[in-house]
Structure 1
């Protein structure tokens, strides 16, 4: 080891031969840059990453139209088709599991908000809504957890259990996310050490088209989180502790969905009532939509991408006018602890999938190249690749306008951006008020406080009340419900 604890190039190569091309500018680096590069190289597992690239070339054999079938209606349910008494029973089952402390909500928050153009982790970005403390996606989710716990406490006069909140980050998002979640926990009275688990998914090096690793700067390798399927390896070491806490059920969701019903009692109750080991929320697909379809492939549940489904199957409809393969995946899942134990075992390996990307890199002359078209490959694991291991798999189909509005794009794109998230949250709140026959006369966008209502309940005070600009601003019997 050289002075100041800085490894020499030969010392790095003695344990990591794959790193040689990445040390081309090593002698130009400052000592602290050398230490950071060495630390990064020691976490990237380059020898395995070389093999992952080769393995990813051998994609699954394309499925034929005969292989693909929709999930049968015996395993595909929609709450809109259910009687209120049945829904109330499912809600009760879900709330009982929450009250017993059996539910863990896992938020997937490891992605880099590159499409948003933000340097902050997506879950911490200010929303300009203030519907919950923290004014962020994670803030809204924390408030929903706090509200469910309060509702569980009203039902169970014993000391109710807590919802455990597990937050999957990545090396690039962990520090800022941890600090933000600590503030949320303190505000809501969550015991940070007991009730919250923050863990990081792995990063994987990016490649050029030939499978060579890339430098992003002279002192850093281009790397990215290994996809939402990185959940299983990342959380595996935490499962024994969560089982010891009494966790039996997991609700897994993406941080970017502003309408997500975190630890949804209806969804959990439905899965428990049907003895499901895996269930997934879907929305009805819209014409031309490119999201994956949840279906059966040779009898096993799988998410099939639009390109694999093909236009003919994608457009096929049932007798009632719905798309035959219309169960659109929204990355919102239920798993039992026993199932997670099975798929998170050390011997379980998910395949890597290739994504062609535009990747800026340092060329041999030391200049940074910013390509105008995809020039490289990033590998990702998909969370739904474990579906085929399920023994009792179910679909819970929900209304898109009430449960799915992701924040993915910069405002300039005009879809799945901040303004559409704000609009969709307003529309859900408006729908809840209409259901209690409130008279809405304001034309402004408004928001209910997240802690007021989880699913439209607790709004009876507003029945037949006028919801006007004046009332929201100055009538305490009304404005206590609203953000203002």
Structure 2
């Protein structure tokens, strides 16, 4: 036995994980090499410490001192005067012309719950155009670049970073190449992969997926910060002089990519970090809320809020804790650098109980459990808000900006149908506000290409025009 192999076995034995070598002697030489390579790359000491912390509950928020977010940190699309909104838009569009704004999609999820074997971003929700989520979002970027050029005369570009998992990276790359990047330049689309980490069983032992591989999973959307450093994304931002980043989940069909009002608001307030929120609709709605705990901004998950706090209301009847988190964030580049340099290790892991296929470490028999048998550790992207020295919140309207795609047809909510109808309703509204006159059913489909209009602008030609629904305007 080589000295390296013996040292590796002793290391794993020290942390109670020696079972990963149970089948070593019956493996082929290639399988042995694969196992050793994987185990060599695991920071077993760090993961064991993370496991122990989660079991002690040290990372859990103390919500007893929870307070609403300070009003002076909040801006709203509904209460801000039109001329101020215009100023925000122009500020952001000028930043786009200067090449200072980028976007980053959190796109590690496969379409498992949608019933498809490919990444969510490639999913077609059944629009008249047949466009996928990826295509819609790229075209929104192209429209913003055009609006910025009209304002300034300069042709700035918005770089789109796409964080994938090991399962979604190659399909995503192939998809963009196949579709010629949907009109963007190849150098505008940068696809990178987040880290995966081993899963644990309920007793804290690493789960074996095969006799020579660990069961691994992405480390949550909070794995972004390690990936920014390890995948050289921060270096790329420096090189391209990207100062501000819009970070969001790929599965929201209504997302206003690099929203000029949101970006402009954050830039004008010199914010290091910002969070776009919707007003929470009812006390038990399953969304986290932005709060202040011990003078730090945090997102508290709905499961962590007491029933009493969730039901608190203001004099006007609105919920006291109503700043609903929708995974839609602003980050300043230098803040991200500081997070990666000083705080990445402080971001807590959260426990996710999962059904994980595994090899029994005693018998070697493959087992596919029907109920959760193990734990995956995940970090959350918003857990860095606490490190920000200047943080703001921007409140938007749910019906304009938030319709996530989570479940397959037949589920109660967040399905392809609900996402599609939310987009159609918004586009009918844009056309109606422009003065269009509809014929056909009141709920019939109306789809506007993002190339035509980002958020209802540029539709003057449809004033007093009769439009037969359904209609696709591209």
What is the TM-score normalised by the length of structure 1? 0.89
Q: Is the 8 A contact 1:131 1:448 kept in 2?
A: no
Residue 43 of structure 2 corresponds to which residue in structure 1? 45
Residue 165 of structure 1 corresponds to which residue in structure 2? 160
Pairwise CA RMSD: 2.5
Partner SS for 1:331: strand
Q: How many angstroms apart in 2 are the aligned matches of 1:171 and 1:411?
A: 27
Pairwise CA distance, 1:184 = 4.8
Is residue 356 from structure 1 mapped to residue 349 from structure 2 by the alignment?
A: no
Pairwise CA distance, 1:50 = 2.1
**Cα 1:464–1:390, aligned 2, differ >3 Å: closer, same or farther?**
same
Partner SS for 2:305: helix
**Cα 1:373–1:250, aligned 2, differ >3 Å: closer, same or farther?**
same
Is residue 205 from structure 1 mapped to residue 198 from structure 2 by the alignment?
A: yes
Residue 449 of structure 1 corresponds to which residue in structure 2? 449
Is residue 425 from structure 1 mapped to residue 423 from structure 2 by the alignment?
A: yes
**Cα 1:415–1:33, aligned 2, differ >3 Å: closer, same or farther?**
farther
* 2:219 paired residue among 211, 222, 226: 226
Partner SS for 1:332: strand
Residue 392 of structure 1 corresponds to which residue in structure 2? 390
Tell me the alpha carbon deviations over residues 311-340 of structure 1, each in whole angstroms, 9 at most, x when there is no partner: 111111111111100000011100111111
**Cα 1:228–1:433, aligned 2, differ >3 Å: closer, same or farther?**
same
Q: Is the 8 A contact 2:220 2:378 kept in 1?
A: yes
Q: How many angstroms apart in 1 are the aligned matches of 2:402 and 2:191?
A: 25
Is residue 325 from structure 1 mapped to residue 321 from structure 2 by the alignment?
A: yes
What is the TM-score normalised by the length of structure 2? 0.91
Q: Is the 8 A contact 1:46 1:205 kept in 2?
A: no
Residue 281 of structure 2 corresponds to which residue in structure 1? 286
Residue 70 of structure 2 corresponds to which residue in structure 1? 72
Please list every run of 5 or more consecutive structure 2 residues that lacks an aligned counterpart in the other structure: none
Q: Is the 8 A contact 1:199 1:235 kept in 2?
A: no
Tell me the alpha carbon deviations over residues 391-446 of structure 1, each in whole angstroms, 9 at most, x when there is no partner: 11111011111111111122232311212111111111112112112222233323
Size of the alignment, in residue pairs? 464
Partner SS for 2:118: coil
Is residue 414 from structure 1 mapped to residue 409 from structure 2 by the alignment?
A: no
Partner SS for 2:162: strand
Is residue 105 from structure 1 mapped to residue 100 from structure 2 by the alignment?
A: no
Pairwise CA distance, 1:257 = 0.8
* 1:309 paired residue among 305, 308, 311: 305
Partner SS for 1:344: helix
Residue 239 of structure 1 corresponds to which residue in structure 2? 234
Deviates more, 1:265-274 or 1:173-182: 173-182
Deviates more, 1:199-208 or 1:350-359: 350-359
Partner SS for 2:102: strand
Partner SS for 1:145: helix
**Cα 1:43–1:73, aligned 2, differ >3 Å: closer, same or farther?**
same
Please list every run of 5 or more consecutive structure 1 residues that lacks an aligned counterpart in the other structure: 3-7, 473-478
